[in-house]
């Protein structure tokens, strides 16, 4: 018996019971198993039901209460905030550093036994952190922006920048962003065992709109890396641009508990570091022991005369080294 026959039979039963059923009163219902998108079937609906067939206590429809909890007109929809937050976390891609490999290559990594090099970087970072947090005698603008450079290539600036970032990431009160700002010859990702990726230059050229999209969160909880990005023939102009000024301002103001370390190109054979140095709060110059000449060092420091704080680190020392291997120079 099909649905129409069932409906007709039911109507006949109601009529016999004395119920007046007008054929014009119909309601729309969908039969179980009806294919999605199929035309709905019209079934007659009685206007009245005899007492013996009606429920004992008819239930009246309840109007929505005026005080019922309603979402505020401008409040975020449920789940929207968490979705946005999760989206931001997903944008910053997480990468896995091979800590054993890094330790074998002489880099500082968390959890290693106490070493002389770890102690030496503690000595190097302490005044930098003091300046960055405003604990020095005079406040330093953008003190949490620290550039690591050298007079000439090959003096160990990238090695020192990575180790300084690692050492600072072991601090309890700070996070660290390591920026590969050697946009001419980027080396940070290679040293860390990571493949090339978009980064700083892509943000400056507008190819990437949000810096969080190119940041790399590492398995060292407080260390994040910003790659140099896609090579450009206008690197000096990009570093000197208003976009770079805005980016540095954002980094200095928005992440006041974060130390940002820039691995920059050497000072003498390039102009990028000189441009970048004018916008830094602190500069660390790595000097190769017994190799870099006094003339080169003098020329390098001359390019940094406008920088508020300049420090130097003597690198690649042979034999026993005293704490005097660390020098300080302030303008």
Q: Burial, 57: exposed, middle or buried (Cβ in 10 Å; 0-12, 13-18, 19+)?
A: exposed
Percent of the chain with pLDDT over 70: 68
Q: Domain for residue 131, yes or no?
A: yes
Residue 14 maps to a domain: no
Counted domains in the chain = 1
Task: Read off the pTM.
Answer: 0.69
Q: 19 falls in which pLDDT band (50, 70, 90)?
A: low
Report the pLDDT value the prediction gives residue 233, as an integer from 0 to 100: 86
Q: Which residue has the tokens 């103001």?
A: 253
Give the per-residue pLDDT at 11: 65
Classify burial at 147, counting beta carbons within 10 Å of its beta carbon; exposed 0-12, middle 13-18, buried 19 or more.
buried
Dist CA 25 CA 130 (whole Å): 84
Q: What is the pLDDT of residue 196?
A: 93
Mean pLDDT, residues 190-211 taken together: 93
CATH number at residue 176: 3.40.50.300
Average pLDDT over residues 31-52: 40
**Residues sharing a CB contact under 8 Å with residue 39, sequence separation 6 or more, in sequence order:** none
Residue with tokens 């054979």: 269
Q: Are 235 and 265 in contact (CB under 8 A)?
A: no
- Do 243 and 208 contact (CB within 8 A), yes or no? no
- pLDDT at res. 115: 81
Residues 106-165 pLDDT 10s = 999 988 777 888 999 999 999 999 999 888 778 888 899 999 999 999 999 999 999 999
Q: Is the pLDDT of residue 192 over 80?
A: yes
CA torsion sign for 48, 52, 54, 56 is positive
Whether 98 and 219 have beta carbons less than 8 Å apart is answered as no
Separation of alpha carbons 148 and 40, rounded Å: 73
Identify the band that residue 21 occupies on the pLDDT scale cut at 50, 70 and 90.
low
pLDDT of residue 14: 59
- In a domain, residue 8? The reply is no
Per the listing, tokens 């976009």 go with: 243
Given a cut of 90, whether residue 331 has pLDDT beyond it is no
Q: Is a pLDDT exceeding 70 seen at residue 326?
A: no
CA distance 174 to 133: 10
pLDDT digits (tens, 9 = 90+) for 279-322: 999 999 999 999 999 999 999 999 998 898 999 999 988 765 55
Give me the pLDDT at residue 68, please: 40
Q: Dump pLDDT digits (tens) for 48-64.
A: 433 343 444 444 444 44
Residue 180 lies in a domain: yes
pLDDT band at 190 (very low <50, low <70, confident <90, very high): very high
Residue that has been written with the tokens 């003091």 in this structure: 130
305/308 Cα distance (integer angstroms) = 8
- Residue-number span of the structural domain to which 169 is assigned: 107-330
Please check whether residue 311 is in contact with residue 282, taking contact to mean a CB–CB distance below 8 angstroms.
Answer: yes
Q: Which residues pair with 95 in a beta bridge?
A: 218
Angle between the N-to-C axes of helices 116-132 and 157-169, in degrees from 0 to 180, rounded to the nearest 10: 80
Q: Dump strand ranges (E) for 151-281.
A: 175-180, 216-218, 223-226, 258-263
User: Does residue 77 fall inside a structural domain?
Assistant: no
Q: Are 227 and 198 in contact (CB under 8 A)?
A: yes
pLDDT for 255 equals 66
DSSP annotation of 324 reads G
Average pLDDT over residues 9-21: 63
* Of 256, 281, 276, nearest in space to 266 by CA: 276
Ramachandran area for residue 133 (φ above 0: left; ψ -120 to 50: alpha; else beta)? alpha
Contacts of 57 (CB under 8 A, 6+ apart): none
Mean pLDDT, all residues of the chain: 77
pLDDT tier at 254, thresholds 50, 70, 90: confident
Please tell me the predicted confidence (pLDDT) of residue 164.
97
User: Other CB atoms closer than 10 Å to residue 196's CB: what's the count?
Assistant: 13
Residue 188 located in a structural domain: yes
pLDDT of 41: 39
pLDDT at 88: 42
Which of 125 and 74 is assigned the larger pLDDT? Answer: 125
pLDDT for 306: 87
Residue 224 covered by a domain: yes
In a domain, residue 287? The reply is yes
Look at strands 223-226 and 216-218 and give their pairing.
antiparallel
């Amino acid at each position: 018996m099909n649905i129409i026959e069932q409906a007709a039979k039911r109507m006949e039963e109601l009529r016999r019971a004395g119920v007046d059923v007008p054929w014009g009163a119909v309601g729309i219902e969908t039969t179980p198993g009806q294919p999605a998108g199929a035309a709905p079937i019209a079934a007659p609906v009685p206007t009245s039901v005899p007492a013996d067939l009606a429920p004992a206590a008819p239930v009246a429809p309840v109007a929505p209460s005026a005080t019922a909890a309603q979402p505020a007109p401008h409040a975020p929809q449920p789940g929207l905030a968490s979705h946005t937050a999760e989206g931001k976390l997903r944008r910053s891609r997480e990468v896995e550093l091979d800590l054993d490999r890094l330790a074998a290559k002489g880099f500082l990594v968390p959890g290693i036994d106490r070493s002389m090099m770890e102690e030496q970087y503690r000595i190097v970072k302490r005044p930098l952190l003091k300046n960055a947090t405003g604990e020095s005698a005079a406040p330093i603008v953008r003190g949490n922006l620290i550039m690591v450079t050298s007079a000439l290539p090959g003096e160990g600036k990238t090695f020192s920048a990575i180790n300084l970032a690692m050492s600072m990431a072991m601090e309890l009160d700070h996070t660290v962003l390591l920026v590969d700002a050697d946009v001419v010859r980027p080396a940070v990702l290679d040293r860390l065992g990571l493949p090339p990726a978009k980064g700083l230059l892509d943000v400056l050229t507008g190819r990437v709109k949000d810096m969080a999209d190119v940041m790399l969160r590492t398995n060292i909880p407080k260390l994040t890396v910003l790659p140099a990005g896609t090579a450009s023939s206008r690197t000096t102009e990009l570093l000197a641009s208003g976009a770079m000024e805005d980016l540095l301002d954002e980094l200095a103001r928005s992440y006041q508990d974060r130390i940002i370390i820039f691995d920059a190109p050497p000072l003498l054979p390039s102009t990028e570091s000189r441009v970048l140095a004018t916008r830094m709060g602190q500069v660390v110059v790595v000097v190769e022991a017994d190799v870099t000449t006094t003339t080169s060092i003098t020329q390098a420091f001359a390019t940094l005369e406008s920088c508020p704080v300049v420090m130097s680190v003597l690198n690649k020392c042979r034999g026993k080294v005293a704490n005097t291997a660390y020098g300080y120079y302030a303008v």
